[in-house]
Structure 1
Amino acid sequence: MGVVVAFEDKETGQGAGKASQARIEQLVELTRPDMERVNAMILSRTGSEVTMIPEVANHLISSGGKRLRPMLTLATAALSGYRGDGHVKLAAGVEFMHTATLLHDDVVDQSDMRRGKLAARMLWGNEASVLVGDFLLGQAFKMMVEVGSLRALDILSTAAAVIAEGEVLQLSVAKNTQTTEDEYLSVIRGKTAELFAAACEVGPVIANAPKADAAACRSYGLNLGIAFQLIDDALDYGGIANTLGKNTGDDFREGKITLPVVLSFRRGSETERAFWTRTLQDSDIRDGDLEEAQTIMKRHRALADTIERAEHYAKMAKDALGLFPASAMKQALNETVDFCVARAH
């Protein structure tokens, strides 16, 4: 998922990206020296004698995005007083894992766009996208092994398995309008929040910080990841295309069951439920259906309540950092939570 760089103000319709940008700028600045090293490592590890591998990988890697997940690895390592180089390789590995999941997701979802550009699958085909994703996963684990922390390797390899489980679970609920809120939250905990959690947990782990610190950072990442995904769910029905790096309504056209749909279906009339069954379950989408979906969601406060739930998880993320003393990095991590939620406003 792309991180927002611009969005509409609810009241004025003007871009409010600058306010949101300010909230993440401190994290960007504090991690900039290490991120330069991460970026250099990412470029060096995408090299291959097989020409198509760097072409496909760099198409997505160079297409934008804040690289939030690797920044979180660097930030939590610094928060825990880490002194060394292992966090750079782990951060690069986290970004490779994320990029691999994006390549795989676009194939599974048959997406045409990614971060405002044609998806790799549209240029090189599904097979190449899947296989280059596998190459990046292999490189990610290679870097993890090089760090020499068995615990960090365990955390990130477990995350890879949980992410795959989340993807399969999403397939099982795809187009199923009977999906419950709990079932949907299980999906996003696996496919989105788990990598946030692992990215944050490995920082204190390689710093040999107390278990309580590692658990706190994991809780921060998990709750931030859930909030992040819920905001994306709301933006897909209420944002603008360049906000998400995809077309507004892509989730609707792909028949994805997201929280705004779950809430709208539960609260709707029989006629409205029949609409969701026709469009999402039966894939019978007609002109004007997206606008009708947005109208139904507004009628039942589905978007507003999705954002409220995101704000709840955001507060939990901030609370998780409560045991750490005040510092510039702690402030930056708290402001990153605000940044992720502010995209919806």
Structure 2
Amino acid sequence: MTATIHRLPTPHAPSLEPMMTLAAADMNAVNTVILDRMQSQIPLIPELAGHLIAGGGKRMRPMLTLASAKLLGYPGTRHHRLAAAVEFIHTATLLHDDVVDGSDLRRGKRTANIIWGNPASVLVGDFLFSKSFELMVEDGSLKVLKILSGASAIIAEGEVNQLTAARRIDLGEERYLDIIGAKTAALFAAACRIAAVVAERPDSEEEALDAYGRNLGIAFQLVDDAIDYVSDAGTMGKDAGDDFREGKMTLPVILAYARGDEDARAFWKQAIAGHRASDEDFAHAIELVRATRAVEDTLARARHYGQRAIDALGIFSGGPAKDAMIEAVEFAVARAY
């Protein structure tokens, strides 16, 4: 059974191009900071960090800091270093995640832990975390430091929560949303919020940008979890079925298990426990997910959170920055189509 998936009602395919164009000049400045701060007298550090940082990612999180600053008309340059700090936090978490998950691919390339080993990946991740805090301290704002350090702690909590939830067939939707709210959405929210701090805008605008980033982050992760069951390595930049083989109870599985018959639920129990992990088992999992409309409904939830992100921008005046940020939400959801 093939699920019917409805596209967002946009006149063209949503793209990150407007946001990338909007932030291009500022992103050049951010990249300069990133390249400068990842240098070390220990050659392995820039070599390994550079492998991931230059790995083809869209730099969406720092770009959100830059776009938010544009939305607010901020004329300064403080956000360049802070956007670099955001990227370092993200990169550090990716290095650690790949070790925890035992991943082989990241954005279509071999992961750092496969090339250099787990110890090097963990330690270079620690180096990048440290560099992010250097940049925060140099900015001099205790409020910025509180937002970004708080997000870093929440991300780590989310990762531990996900680790302890692995292979737990009884994981519910509420805990799943707590996990992705922490491990993904917290940094999206902080990346947007700090722009309002450096621009010295009122709390209402800080909170609106926080809500925009948080809801975008949840939508982004929901789509990621859905396309694990409908895509391939070329599209995703990782092996299709990684979540399945790692026993992750993502929303498509939570819904498929809840809606399945006795045989389907028995299969999911074995699969999540790690006893059904072959290619044939993954193909059967895809059939079950599609038959129960679990992917469709996961994407429907992503659209819901995406709309909440767009609604959060309602207090801001229209213009190229707001348009680009709205289209970034539409792009995040439309990746599944």
User: Shorter-chain TM-score: which interval?
Assistant: over 0.9
Is the contact made by 1:194 and 1:225 (CA closer than 8 Å) also made in structure 2? yes
Deviations 1:29-50 (CA, angstroms, capped at 9, x unpaired): 1100000011111111110001
Q: Secondary structure at the match of 1:71?
A: helix
Which residues of structure 1 form unaligned runs of 5+? 1-9, 12-18
Q: Secondary structure at the match of 1:271?
A: helix
Match of 2:21 in 1: 29
Match of 1:84 among 65, 70, 76: 76
The code of the aligned residue for 1:177 comes to: I
Match of 2:56 among 61, 64, 69: 64
Deviations 1:124-148 (CA, angstroms, capped at 9, x unpaired): 1100000000000000010111111
Instruction: Please tell me whether residue 232 in structure 1 is matched to residue 232 in structure 2.
Output: no
Match of 1:159 among 133, 151, 156: 151
Match of 2:8 in 1: none
Match of 1:327 among 301, 315, 319: 319
Match of 1:111 in 2: 103
Is the contact made by 1:278 and 1:285 (CA closer than 8 Å) also made in structure 2? no
Cα deviation for residue 119 of structure 1 reads 0.4
Match of 2:34 among 31, 42, 45: 42
The code of the aligned residue for 1:198 comes to: A
Is the contact made by 1:46 and 1:136 (CA closer than 8 Å) also made in structure 2? yes
Deviations 1:179-232 (CA, angstroms, capped at 9, x unpaired): 000010000000000000000100011110010000000000000000000000
The code of the aligned residue for 2:296 comes to: A
Instruction: Please tell me whether residue 251 in structure 1 is matched to residue 243 in structure 2.
Output: yes
What CA distance in whole angstroms lies between the structure 2 residues aligned with 1:249 and 1:217? 34
Is the contact made by 1:233 and 1:259 (CA closer than 8 Å) also made in structure 2? yes
For the aligned residue pairs, the C-alpha RMSD in angstroms reads 1.2
What CA distance in whole angstroms lies between the structure 2 residues aligned with 1:306 and 1:220? 19
Matches within 5 A, 1:208-227: 208-227=200-219
Identity in percent: 53
Cα deviation for residue 287 of structure 1 reads 4.3
The code of the aligned residue for 1:54 comes to: P
Is the contact made by 1:117 and 1:245 (CA closer than 8 Å) also made in structure 2? yes
What CA distance in whole angstroms lies between the structure 1 residues aligned with 2:231 and 2:211? 28
What CA distance in whole angstroms lies between the structure 2 residues aligned with 1:249 and 1:304? 17
What CA distance in whole angstroms lies between the structure 1 residues aligned with 2:128 and 2:332? 26
What CA distance in whole angstroms lies between the structure 1 residues aligned with 2:150 and 2:70? 23
What CA distance in whole angstroms lies between the structure 2 residues aligned with 1:334 and 1:309? 17
Deviations 1:156-200 (CA, angstroms, capped at 9, x unpaired): 000000000000100111010110000100000000000000001
